[in-house]
Amino acid sequence: MSEIAGKTRSRATADDVARVAEVSRVAVSRAFNPHASIKPEKRDRILKVAQELNYTPDVAARSLVTRRSHLVGVIVPDVCSPWESQEIDQLTTALQAEGFATLLFKTRTDRSMDSQLLTYMKGYNPDSVIAFTENVGPEILGQILDRAVPIYVTYPHEETSAENPQGQRFDRLDVVQRDGIDQAIALMQGFGARRFAYLAGDPHASASLEREYVLRQVMAARGLGEPLIVPGDFTYDTAYRATINLFRVGDGADAIFAANDVSAFGALDALRHDLGLNVPKDVKVVGFDDIAQSHWKSYDLTTVKIDLDERVRALVRLILRRLKNPDAPALTETIRTKLVVRGTVG
């Protein structure tokens, strides 16, 4: 019986792999580290032998030595909406390329988190946690995380300092929304829009509330007065019904700024199919996010873009910077928005 065939009967060790592959034990360890310098042909040979021997590194044992779990927790309020699913997919891919696995945790509908899930998270001892909801605050995560510093995505009115309120320990990705919103309002105003409606998102989400705040500031600066606020929740169906009510019960509008692209889709379909209005001739519509479906010909949506590639790169940088310097003060990355012009304004 060959040595490889024999070793598959019991759990192989790194020493077994090193002996069969005729390399050092250190080389075996390096072959499983995507950032380690090792010749590609040697790495391929070691990984091939490891597969034949059914060997996998003992991550738990390694983490005791390195104090690194190579796990990143991600807390999200939703996993099936287009923006969240696209971001999770891209973020997971980027983290795996850096040698991390992802732990996904979903909040309750009010964006709070079950205490038992927090206990599970603590047990995994993640290297980092990205919280896409402000309801699970740093004062909560600080109680259950060991050395990990959580990362929050925030939507400030303008660029801010790296200092956190009340000295709370967390890192931030700041998304500055004003540029894109100002460009959107300027475009609609330039095409004659005067009565603006804001089709709001989830009232529990700071992203929607901050979007509304910036919209009010921009409109006031342009002499447009107050927007009409139409309650929403980021979903297609709610936006569809709200748009019909806006025109059949209310006084309507000649411009709709939606809190996200999915809400804009609902507004567009209501305007075109139920209300018989022309977009953009009768009503101009702008969304927010620039999800993959926004360029589909059925919608061809003008929207304020958050560059997903840039956003994911910034989050990964925050993780790597923090691991490199665990005791550093609050770390911040900043990205900005811009308008993508398509066919719903013009």
What's the domain range around 22? 3-57
DSSP-derived letter for residue 299 is T
28 pLDDT band, cuts 50/70/90, is confident
Same domain? For 112 and 166 the reply is: yes
* Entry pTM: 0.80
CATH number of the structural domain spanning residue 250: 3.40.50.2300
The better pLDDT of the pair 333, 114 is held by 333
- Does a cis peptide bond (omega within 30 degrees of 0) precede residue 165? no
User: How large is the average pLDDT for residues 159-182?
Assistant: 81
Same domain? For 137 and 207 the reply is: no
Q: How many Cβ atoms are within 10 Å of 3's Cβ, its own excluded?
A: 12
pLDDT at residue number 290: 98
The two tokens of residue 111 are 């964006």
As a whole number of angstroms, the distance between CA 333 and CA 312 comes to: 11
Counted domains in the chain: 3
139 pLDDT band, cuts 50/70/90, is confident
The two tokens of residue 330 are 């609050």
> By 3-state DSSP, what share of the chain in percent is helix, strand and coil, each rounded to 5?
45, 15, 40
In a domain, 317, yes or no: yes
In a domain, 216, yes or no: yes
CATH number of the structural domain spanning residue 37: 1.10.260.40
- List pLDDT tens digits, range 64-105: 445 678 899 999 988 889 999 999 999 999 999 998 999 999
Same domain? For 32 and 144 the reply is: no
Same domain? For 227 and 297 the reply is: yes
Same domain? For 24 and 39 the reply is: yes
- List pLDDT tens digits, range 198-210: 999 999 888 999 9
Same domain? For 40 and 123 the reply is: no
35 pLDDT band, cuts 50/70/90, is low
Same domain? For 229 and 249 the reply is: yes
As a whole number of angstroms, the distance between CA 329 and CA 126 comes to: 20
8 pLDDT band, cuts 50/70/90, is very low
As a whole number of angstroms, the distance between CA 314 and CA 23 comes to: 38
In a domain, 338, yes or no: no
Same domain? For 120 and 224 the reply is: no
In a domain, 107, yes or no: yes
In a domain, 340, yes or no: no
- List pLDDT tens digits, range 227-280: 999 999 999 999 999 999 999 999 999 999 999 999 999 999 999 999 999 999
Same domain? For 250 and 101 the reply is: no
